[in-house]
Chain A
């Protein structure tokens, strides 16, 4: 460390915890050896230095789009990382790891038994009510079985260190454990913001865990296919709590990220709806809860699953990981009987202890719990949204009585656990290190003969507000967890790996669902639509404030605003007041996101599309998207009336950001199908916007001077004014103007240019998607292209003096507009899956209870 100390040294003197166990000091007064290096380094860095690193970390998370959505209605929060890692020595970790392996094996045996012979019930180890009464026990999953030894592929636990320094497990996650991806992102960021500290600390790497996961999924896939395995990650969607992680993992592992509606069961197999047809799927790594996975056999009201999935699983034609039904293992009442279960299966108790747990379905336990409510943590047997653990200690007498009554009425559904006061670990609270309680989530994945455990995991710390619950849902902050190796490790990463085993090196299919393609297409369209509206409004603002303000052409331009954005009636109504005071209406066209066609509405739609394809975006793109989001939310302030003498300037940054986005797409997107559809969207929209603009502003014939001004304004709007001025023109310049705007094949903003590019894109589509020969969409574009070529600027600029219009211009453009709109509709019918919502044959109101 060569960074000079800037903070006062005593600020960074970590004092440890007043009570309980401390990760640095244990129960002693001397800092433990393995913390020395880190604490010294932090002192050297100084509080300024740490603050700086923290800001850098925040910036990276933002650029990566790392978010956590605590609730459907809230806007996503940026992922929070404390820059001070938790340290564990590898000797200690080795013991924890072997305990976790043993626990994963045991949970695997329980899962096998519960959906098999149920010996645990028949031998009196588990009370029947504990199994039969739990919502996670899915009868439809009876007899399901994965190839290989392990039914349970992924197993996670939450653990805390108690006051004696012993790690105690307080719960398990077995459906679709979240956090592994966040742990990886934390690690990536830590190694970037504290590179030398990270390097010198010899931290065990995380990549092996993910490699084991890939290997396991490939091995499973190889049981049902001899071809390249097709593995997908199933997410509940862009608005789920941990969507960032789903996208991140899908990318890291190299699997398509799909939603339920991207998948289809057909003739007994599972398929992904991709462009050009159905792709068979062999393995689904799911992040959707058990009961939501199949509306035919599980919750009928679920829109997140795939109808018929369970029966495909049953016939062994697809493998779902973790297997459906595994949610039963999250039943905390199980922990009450874990010692007996362990004796039954393994002949010994588990090495890693579990927090003492009571199940109120047992009369003796119930009596104990009622008598000791104040020292226990009360949990519901099922993890339902909004059901949080209740800390008896924090209740007043009345609340405690109410809780006691609730438990008494429905004892089977309540579990109580002894509260384990978690150890404290040094955490950054600008400008000092303070003790914060920590809980560690571990991750294990089945490998050939056993399980592999991620070295470390995801640590979450309390915020110091006295809340005893340490979940992200409750606003906890995360930490990287470093297992310190005595020797530096060899680098293994999926992203840059040289040595991978045979199974892991099998390349998965690279295809993506057509939902993604559709979002790319619309992303292109919305971006163009927003850009052209922004440009026009900029022009209008300049015009309104210009010294040679001319009412006639302003009226025309305002009308064009309405026509271009389709925010009718707007300025199409003849209203002198509106013409004199157009600001309010113009601001509404910009800011009113509830108004279809407004700039805000288009930009929000664009952002919605980018949310849907998060996994396809590079971090550069993500950064630009973030800028767009910021620009959009700052727009209202920037446009506050009176604040800004030149409102057009407030629109500049957004135009620039959209151009940056277009530039990135052009420069750094691989010319694959995704890009092609994105660009098709842009071309369709660009052409349509140009046509609307010209039809509205140049079809009417104006007096010569005004006509010229309007033409220049439109050319400026289309970034063609400089070219126009450089070229020789005669008279009104209308002919040359129309030539540039419509015919010029060298002008990337001309209508003809867009149509030719569209035609080219269509010819480049794979035959499987496009079909052989000329298709309807080809024919329509061919007609549009020919119509332009057969026409000429002279013809189009011809004026009809009685109507004061250019009828040829109007006729050609309205035809082309129609052709383009039909083409776009055809593209979306043909290439994109029209996502439909299914109906239940018989409405089942009781589903919520299943």
Chain B
């Protein structure tokens, strides 16, 4: 299946911005399950200098600067992404009753010498936005006991976050600390992903942050609105000997054919969709984001229309 993702970001500044330097994580990377077939970047004002770079995590970072005064900035990115068939219905193909147990996993992480294990240990450490804590450990601990398969434990954690926490876009901003999210039991996809990461790290397991998109569906009988999709976030856990497994606590599932990955890192700060600095521009700015995820080619013979994924 091939998706086309169109992501439009529009900034309107109170006064003209004279100069700005930006870094965007808006170009989908390749993963085991997906390939970005093509991307097009349109930035207005068009007189920009841009450069794509492969970053530390293998993501596609796009650096661009605007050197003439402008009151509006429009970043229009369109990418075509092919999702491999092997990803379809991934969760159903897994056996959660088997696999490495929590205690075995911790031991492997401590003693293992293979490269993947050593590299994964980076994701046990605190990162700018996700710090281990007793609170997170206590919340998570009930799902993790020594002889339980780690993957099953993580799935339970994912389910618990989904049921214990309320999706509430008003409750948090990107700077809301995890402790507050844990206390208020409210947040958005990014908070839930980071919460899960914090839980896993507090117990000593490697977890990373994944940003991307999710195909959504209108309520039955209604037409899908253009621009109604949004960017999404979830997490990935490293199971020693088995690899990285993704979970989406917002939707209580494991990302499969409807999830498109853009980038991953230790937390949001590593892969925030757009960051940078600008000069002048006044005190306030208006931001509008519109995202569309559409299929441009479907190779699934049977499409399960009953799936309904809401909330990000």
The docked-state distance in angstroms from the alpha carbon of A611 to that of B126 is 41
Q: How far apart are A135's CB and chain B's nearest CB, in angstroms?
A: 10
Say which residue of A132, A300, A412 sits within 8 Å of B122 (CB atoms): A132
- Chain A 114-130, CB-CB to B under 8 Å as 1, else 0, gives 00000001101000110
Docked-complex contact A836 and B276, CB < 8 angstroms: no
Docked-complex contact B279 and A128, CB < 8 angstroms: no
The answer to whether A401 has its CB under 8 Å from any CB of chain B is: no
Give chain A residues whose Cβ lies under 8 Å from the Cβ of B67.
266-267
The answer to whether B96 has its CB under 8 Å from any CB of chain A is: no
Docked-complex contact B118 and A139, CB < 8 angstroms: no
Give chain A residues whose Cβ lies under 8 Å from the Cβ of B18.
836
Docked-complex contact B113 and A846, CB < 8 angstroms: no
The answer to whether B41 has its CB under 8 Å from any CB of chain A is: no
Q: How far apart are A290's CB and chain B's nearest CB, in angstroms?
A: 15
The answer to whether B2 has its CB under 8 Å from any CB of chain A is: no
Question: What residue of chain A has the Cβ atom nearest to residue B54's Cβ?
Answer: A143
Q: Which of B54-70 contact A (CB under 8 A)?
A: 55-57, 63, 65, 67
Q: How far apart are A59's CB and chain B's nearest CB, in angstroms?
A: 45
Known contacts A122-B118, A311-B53; A297/B281 CB under 8 A: no
Docked-complex contact A842 and B275, CB < 8 angstroms: yes
The answer to whether B23 has its CB under 8 Å from any CB of chain A is: yes
The answer to whether A133 has its CB under 8 Å from any CB of chain B is: yes
Question: What residue of chain B has the Cβ atom nearest to residue A849's Cβ?
Answer: B128
Docked-complex contact A841 and B20, CB < 8 angstroms: yes
The answer to whether B294 has its CB under 8 Å from any CB of chain A is: no
The answer to whether B46 has its CB under 8 Å from any CB of chain A is: no
Identify the stretch in B76-84, B184-192, B266-274, B296-304 within 8 Å (CB) of chain A at 4 or more residues.
B266-274
Say which residue of B51, B269, B276 sits within 8 Å of A846 (CB atoms): B269
The docked-state distance in angstroms from the alpha carbon of A412 to that of B122 is 13
Give chain B residues whose Cβ lies under 8 Å from the Cβ of A842.
174, 272, 274-275
Say which residue of A128, A267, A846, A850 sits within 8 Å of B118 (CB atoms): A128
Q: Which of A796-850 contact B (CB under 8 A)?
A: 836-847, 849-850
Docked-complex contact B126 and A133, CB < 8 angstroms: yes
Docked-complex contact B121 and A836, CB < 8 angstroms: no
The answer to whether A566 has its CB under 8 Å from any CB of chain B is: no
Docked-complex contact A314 and B53, CB < 8 angstroms: yes
The answer to whether B171 has its CB under 8 Å from any CB of chain A is: no
Docked-complex contact A140 and B174, CB < 8 angstroms: no
Docked-complex contact A836 and B279, CB < 8 angstroms: yes
Q: Which of A134-178 contact B (CB under 8 A)?
A: 139-140, 142
Give chain B residues whose Cβ lies under 8 Å from the Cβ of A307.
21, 276-277
Q: How far apart are B35's CB and chain A's nearest CB, in angstroms?
A: 23
Give chain B residues whose Cβ lies under 8 Å from the Cβ of A268.
49, 51
Docked-complex contact B278 and A838, CB < 8 angstroms: yes
* Size of B's binding interface in residues, CB under 8 A: 38
Known contacts A308-B21, A838-B277, A838-B279; A142/B122 CB under 8 A: no
Q: How far apart are A99's CB and chain B's nearest CB, in angstroms?
A: 31
Known contacts A128-B119, A295-B277; A844/B269 CB under 8 A: yes
The docked-state distance in angstroms from the alpha carbon of A124 to that of B113 is 7
The answer to whether B44 has its CB under 8 Å from any CB of chain A is: no
Q: How far apart are B88's CB and chain A's nearest CB, in angstroms?
A: 33
Q: How far apart are A318's CB and chain B's nearest CB, in angstroms?
A: 14
The docked-state distance in angstroms from the alpha carbon of A362 to that of B143 is 28
Give chain B residues whose Cβ lies under 8 Å from the Cβ of A267.
49, 65, 67
Docked-complex contact A315 and B277, CB < 8 angstroms: no
The docked-state distance in angstroms from the alpha carbon of A846 to that of B128 is 6
Known contacts A844-B269, A845-B175; A132/B125 CB under 8 A: yes
The docked-state distance in angstroms from the alpha carbon of A233 to that of B113 is 44
Known contacts A142-B55, A836-B279; A843/B126 CB under 8 A: no
Give chain A residues whose Cβ lies under 8 Å from the Cβ of B56.
139-140, 142
Docked-complex contact A841 and B129, CB < 8 angstroms: no
Docked-complex contact A847 and B128, CB < 8 angstroms: yes
Question: What residue of chain A has the Cβ atom nearest to residue B63's Cβ?
Answer: A311
Give chain B residues whose Cβ lies under 8 Å from the Cβ of A193.
none
Give chain B residues whose Cβ lies under 8 Å from the Cβ of A129.
121, 124-125
The answer to whether B22 has its CB under 8 Å from any CB of chain A is: yes
The answer to whether B95 has its CB under 8 Å from any CB of chain A is: no
Q: How far apart are A176's CB and chain B's nearest CB, in angstroms?
A: 23
Q: How far apart are B292's CB and chain A's nearest CB, in angstroms?
A: 23
Question: What residue of chain B has the Cβ atom nearest to residue A297's Cβ?
Answer: B23
Docked-complex contact A122 and B115, CB < 8 angstroms: yes
Q: How far apart are A129's CB and chain B's nearest CB, in angstroms?
A: 6
Give chain A residues whose Cβ lies under 8 Å from the Cβ of B128.
846-847, 849-850
The docked-state distance in angstroms from the alpha carbon of A527 to that of B179 is 56
Give chain B residues whose Cβ lies under 8 Å from the Cβ of A412.
125
Docked-complex contact A139 and B270, CB < 8 angstroms: yes
Q: How far apart are A405's CB and chain B's nearest CB, in angstroms?
A: 15
Q: How far apart are A391's CB and chain B's nearest CB, in angstroms?
A: 28
Docked-complex contact B122 and A841, CB < 8 angstroms: no
Docked-complex contact A133 and B118, CB < 8 angstroms: no
The docked-state distance in angstroms from the alpha carbon of A838 to that of B18 is 10
The answer to whether B180 has its CB under 8 Å from any CB of chain A is: no
Give chain A residues whose Cβ lies under 8 Å from the Cβ of B174.
842
The docked-state distance in angstroms from the alpha carbon of A122 to that of B112 is 11
The answer to whether B85 has its CB under 8 Å from any CB of chain A is: no
Known contacts A265-B65, A842-B174, A846-B128; A296/B23 CB under 8 A: yes
Give chain A residues whose Cβ lies under 8 Å from the Cβ of B126.
133
Docked-complex contact A841 and B175, CB < 8 angstroms: no
Give chain A residues whose Cβ lies under 8 Å from the Cβ of B21.
265, 296, 307-308
- Chain B 165-185, CB-CB to A under 8 Å as 1, else 0, gives 000000000110000000000
Docked-complex contact B276 and A128, CB < 8 angstroms: no
Give chain A residues whose Cβ lies under 8 Å from the Cβ of B118.
121-122, 124, 128
Give chain A residues whose Cβ lies under 8 Å from the Cβ of B269.
844, 846, 850
- Chain A 525-541, CB-CB to B under 8 Å as 1, else 0, gives 00000000000000000
Docked-complex contact A841 and B22, CB < 8 angstroms: yes
Q: How far apart are A822's CB and chain B's nearest CB, in angstroms?
A: 23
Docked-complex contact B51 and A308, CB < 8 angstroms: no
The docked-state distance in angstroms from the alpha carbon of A300 to that of B174 is 15
Give chain B residues whose Cβ lies under 8 Å from the Cβ of A843.
175
Interface residues, chain A, CB within 8 Å of chain B?
121-122, 124, 128-129, 132-133, 139-140, 142, 265-268, 295-297, 300, 307-308, 311, 314-315, 412, 836-847, 849-850
Q: A307-B21, A307-B276 are in contact. List 8 more A-B contacts (CB 8 A).
A: A128-B118, A140-B55, A836-B279, A839-B278, A840-B277, A841-B278, A844-B269, A845-B175
Q: Can you show 7 pairs from A to B with CB atoms below 8 A apart?
A: A128-B122, A266-B67, A268-B51, A296-B276, A836-B18, A841-B20, A845-B175
Query: Which 4 A-B pairs have CB atoms at the shortest separation, nearest pair first?
Result: A139-B56, A132-B122, A846-B128, A128-B121
